[in-house]
Each structure stands twice: as structure tokens, then as C-alpha cells.
Amino acid sequence: MLPAPHFSAFNPPRRILMGPGPSDVYPEVLAAQARPTVGHLDPLFVAMMDELKSLIQYAFQTKNEMTMAVSAPGSAGMETCFVNLVEPGEKVIVCRNGVFGERMRQNVERVGAIAVLVDNEWGTPVDPAAVEAALKANPDAKFLAFVHAETSTGALSDAKTLCALAKQYGCLSIVDAVTSLGGVKLKVDEWGIDAIYSGSQKCLSCVPGLSPVSFSPAAVEKLKNRKTPVQSWFLDQSLVMAYWTSAGGKRSYHHTAPVNALYALHESLRLLAAEGLENAWKRHQDMHLVLRAGLEKLGLKFVIAEASRLPQLNAIYIPEGVDDAAVRARLLKDYNLEIGAGLGALAGKAWRIGLMGFGARRENVALCLRALEEVLN
């Protein structure tokens, strides 16, 4: 027998999360998650799942039937899109302007497909002209994949234009909306997005660990016509959807859904719908402007040019001579405030201040500005 370990219960402090995610969770969402667990096929639970599906459709602005939440974080939503739609040997144009575009490339190659890279400098949006050149040069490409809101730098790309280009050249679009959903304008049907995934823990202000996903009818067709089976059993949408749809009044077991986490997602999306998507987008923009004014007063400079700046992720250069890790440690210790470090090419050079979901409010902005001012002095 191993000796029994004795620990006290884990009681984290209440941090203010202003990094790249997870974001501050709505108190209502935390309360929802603590409600009694019911069976994953309980009639009351599956009725809640039907509501959840329409809430996800609202957030994405889509009527897509194949809309659900993957029982795993945003990265699994990414993988869901690639493993279901892309077959070995197919060509995918992958736009890379930060960490998550690079992760898309790795997904494409692990599927056994060919990634054609369109590289844009870190901190710039994806360049539609470069994408069009790649589409022209690769008439056999089947997909265009890009990140709408690149969290590693804070750059917003023009998803509408990029998806129109994909369509024009006969490609399906695969879009990463992990950080964009709920924070900036996003219209899946109007923009003709074919496969999209997001995450629960960014602008939805839900607990981490779920990934809303939606496939257009054209994407569903592609999945149906596969010559090879999806190599991931767990992420195979044709199997998962038997649990997410009550077509014919029957739902069947696929895996035990994370029941309480789905209560949380239902509550966060219900709050988003109650606020209204357009109001939520505006609130993110308004709070970004308040933060920007304060940061500029402190002499801090943005990494991203104004035209493509994400309101929900503000990357700012660390002033010269300032100890990156020491500042973040003091913010955490003295103010219970978490801001993000730089990632990849921006490691040690920038901080990333998130204004996501419930975190995009005036008191958070004020606290962050005051704390930065005190610590930097």
C-alpha cells in the first residue's frame, strides 16, 4: 500500500484574469456549474442541450445543423475541423501570422495532408492578396485555413474577405474563432464560413474545457463523402452528432458529456444572448478604448497597428529596462491581477492584456491601469 496523502482542499484566491485566457468567469456561470449532476441522457439534460445548440448557433450567427460543443478545449475544436474534413494527400492553404496558425499547420500535416503556407509577419493580419496568390498558384487546394483573432499577437484578420476568396477559388474555409467569438463581429452564414471552432474560456467567460464548433452544409457534404474514415474515433463528428441531435426523437450515447461544464456553457451563452451580440461587441470596443487611453498616458505602446487591433487582446511593448517576469509576479502577488506574457516571437518583448467577456468592464480596466502605474513606478 502507498501511504495515503493528506492535503487540504484546494482553495484558490479570486484572481482578476486579464491575460489571453482563461478570462474572468461570470459568477452566474460558476453557480450554474455547481448545480446537481444529472445523467447525460436525462430528458431534462438533453432538452438543455437543444437550447445550448441554439445558443451556439446564435453566437456564431448560423443556421448550421451540425453545431455543437466538443467536450474538450479550443485545440480539440481545431483538431475536430481538420480530422473530419481534411483527407490524407489533400492540399490546405494555411495562413500563419502567429502561434495558432502554426498549430493549424501541425494539424494539417498530422492528418497526412499538405500544408501550403502563407506567412505574414507576426503582429500583422493575414494579407488577402497573398492568400489570393496562393489560391491561384494552387488550383488543387481544397481548403483555406486561418485564425480570425490571433491571440498570440492581438491581430484581427478580415474573415469576410478571406472566406469570399476561398469560395471564389472553390475551397472550403476553416476558421479559428477561439478568441473572436463574442468579442468582435463574426457572422458565420453571412460570411460563408464552412468550418469554425471556438473556446469557452475567452470572450464567452465560461470555464475552460469546451469548444463550440459548427460545419456548413458544404462541410457536412465533404465529411459524408470521405474515402477514408476519420482517424480519431472521439472527434468523428458523424458519430458525435448522434448524441447532439434528437432527430427521430432518439439520442444515443457517444461519450459521457461533461454535464456540469455544459451547464456552465449554457449559462454563459444565455448571458451573451441576453446582452445581445452587438452590445457585447460594442462593450469590448468601448473598454478597449478606455484601456488604450490609459496605457498611452503611461507611455506604453501597442504592438499592433490601430486598424487591425483586437479590442479583447491588447499586446503592448514592455518598456526598456523593465523586468518582464518581476512585473507580472508583482501584479499577481500584490493585486491578484494576471496579465499575459508574450508568446513565441513576442516572448519577453510584450505583455498581453485581455479584455474578454466578463473581464471587459470598467472596474477591471481601472484596476489594471492603476496597478501597472504603481508597479512601473
Question: Applying CB under 6 A, which residues contact ligand PLP?
Answer: 21, 73-75, 78, 100, 147, 151, 176, 178-179, 199, 208
Q: How far is the CB of 18 from ligand PLP (least distance, A)?
A: 15
Q: What is the 3-state secondary structure (H, E, C) of 16-68?
A: EEECCCCCCCCHHHHHHHCCCCCCCCCHHHHHHHHHHHHHHHHHHCCCCCEEE
Q: How far is the CB of 2 from ligand PLP (least distance, A)?
A: 33
- Give the gyration radius of the chain's Cα atoms: 21
Q: How far is the CB of 362 from ligand PLP (least distance, A)?
A: 24
Q: Which is nearer to ligand PLP, 199 or 311 (CB)?
A: 199
Nearest residue (beta carbon) to ligand PLP: 74
Q: How far is the CB of 342 from ligand PLP (least distance, A)?
A: 14
Distance CA 335, CA 369 (A): 11
Q: Which is nearer to ligand PLP, 154 or 219 (CB)?
A: 154
- DSSP character for 210? -
Q: Is the link from the previous residue into 22 a cis peptide, with omega within 30 of 0?
A: yes
C-alpha cell at 52: 445550448
Q: What phi, psi does 342 have (nearest 5°)?
A: -70, 155
Q: Which helix (H) or strand (E) covers residue 80, if one does? A: helix 74-85
C-alpha cell at 301: 505602446
Amino acid identity, position 58: Y
Name the H helices within 203-304.
217-224, 237-244, 259-275, 277-297
Distance CA 63, CA 254 (A): 24
Q: Which is nearer to ligand PLP, 73 or 311 (CB)?
A: 73
- DSSP character for 349? T
Q: Residue 212 pairs with which residues in a beta bridge?
A: 69
Q: Which is nearer to ligand PLP, 29 or 369 (CB)?
A: 29
Distance CA 320, CA 67 (A): 47
Q: How far is the CB of 19 from ligand PLP (least distance, A)?
A: 11
330 conformational bin, left if phi > 0, alpha if psi -120 to 50, beta if neither: alpha
Q: Which is nearer to ligand PLP, 74 or 342 (CB)?
A: 74
Distance CA 45, CA 30 (A): 18
Q: Which is nearer to ligand PLP, 46 or 94 (CB)?
A: 94
Distance CA 159, CA 168 (A): 14
Q: How far is the CB of 197 from ligand PLP (least distance, A)?
A: 8
Q: Which is nearer to ligand PLP, 75 or 245 (CB)?
A: 75
Q: Which is nearer to ligand PLP, 81 or 318 (CB)?
A: 81
Q: How far is the CB of 99 from ligand PLP (least distance, A)?
A: 8
Q: Which is nearer to ligand PLP, 171 or 310 (CB)?
A: 310
Q: How far is the CB of 198 from ligand PLP (least distance, A)?
A: 9
Q: How far is the CB of 201 from ligand PLP (least distance, A)?
A: 6
CB 197 within 8 A of CB 212: yes
Q: Which is nearer to ligand PLP, 353 or 369 (CB)?
A: 353
Q: How far is the CB of 293 from ligand PLP (least distance, A)?
A: 25
Helices 277-297 and 362-376: crossing angle in degrees, nearest 10, is: 20
DSSP letters of 132-165?
A: HHHHHH-TT--EEEEESEETTTTEEP-HHHHHHH
3-state secondary structure of 97: coil
Write down the residue that cell numbers 454563459 correspond to: 268
